[in-house]
Amino acid sequence: MTRDISAEMLGLPIGIKEAALGFTLDGGIPIGVFGRVYTSGEINFEAAAIRDIGLEFGMGAIENYLGGKAAGRFQSYTINVIAFYFGKTCDFGVLERLDPEVAEFIGETVPLIGVYVRGAVSLPIINYGCPLTIGAGVDLGIWYLSGIFGGLFGGSVWGEALCLVSIKGKVTLMGLKSGSDYKFNGKGWIAGGLGFCEPEDWNSISDVRDDDWCLTGDASFGATYSSVNSDFSLQGPDFSCCD
């Protein structure tokens, strides 16, 4: 496995965050190949950019799958994430790397057979540059994996004022059906930042806290219901400040 090769070392606009290649063996004889690569950095075009590219693949006698993810922008549209998976794998880590949020909600399931797609985009609605910008976003996903059917829907609103003050709030709802069992999850967060922030790129709490040159604070909350034992639970609210 290869990790953390910078763009400068490669002489390219993007670096390699993680890369791996392996073989499935049967009695010492290769019967399959699998691998992955995840990049860091951004490739810029005239009116667009692409970043955080990831690719997962496997082919052979046991596994055959393809998955990918990326983020970027096109003119004034911010593509927070585009991700997909289809095929069969015996490694649940494939979905965990492509979409840890959905993987955690589904729970480990192997072999993982089926299809998954997700996309999230945001755009400015009122745009006067950094003195005043207000935008909104939408997040949609659907999957059918090993007999588990589910989907998600999310919405967000963000704003920037006086080139120094930023705020964003997001709510995501997820649901799945596995056999006769149902599970639902709702969660949300709100975050504020002071400095040279990029709220349109905040797709999660970790994105907020990782925003360079931006002093941030956030609050998050959630609720989960499972038809198994009619279990209902609340999470939070949790607060963090000054990251």
Q: How far is CA 90 from CA 20, 65, 97, in A?
A: 16, 10, 14
The pLDDT of residue 5 is 78
Angle at 15 between CA 11 and CA 16, to 5 degrees: 130
Q: Coil, strand, or helix at residue 223?
A: strand
Report the predicted TM-score, pTM, of the whole model to 2 decimal places: 0.90
Give the pLDDT confidence score for residue 11 in this predicted structure: 73
Which of helix, strand or coil describes residue 229?
helix
Computed over its alpha carbons, how large is the radius of gyration of the chain?
A: 20
Structure tokens at 34: 């699998």
Longest dimension (CA), the chain: 66
Residue 114 near residue 92 (C-beta atoms within 8 A):
no
Residue 17 exposure: Cα atoms within 13 Å on the Cβ side: 13
Residues paired with 36 in a beta bridge: 20, 56
Per run of 10 residues, the mean pLDDT along the chain (length 243 residues) is: 74 87 93 96 89 96 98 92 98 97 95 98 92 96 98 97 95 96 96 93 90 94 92 92 79
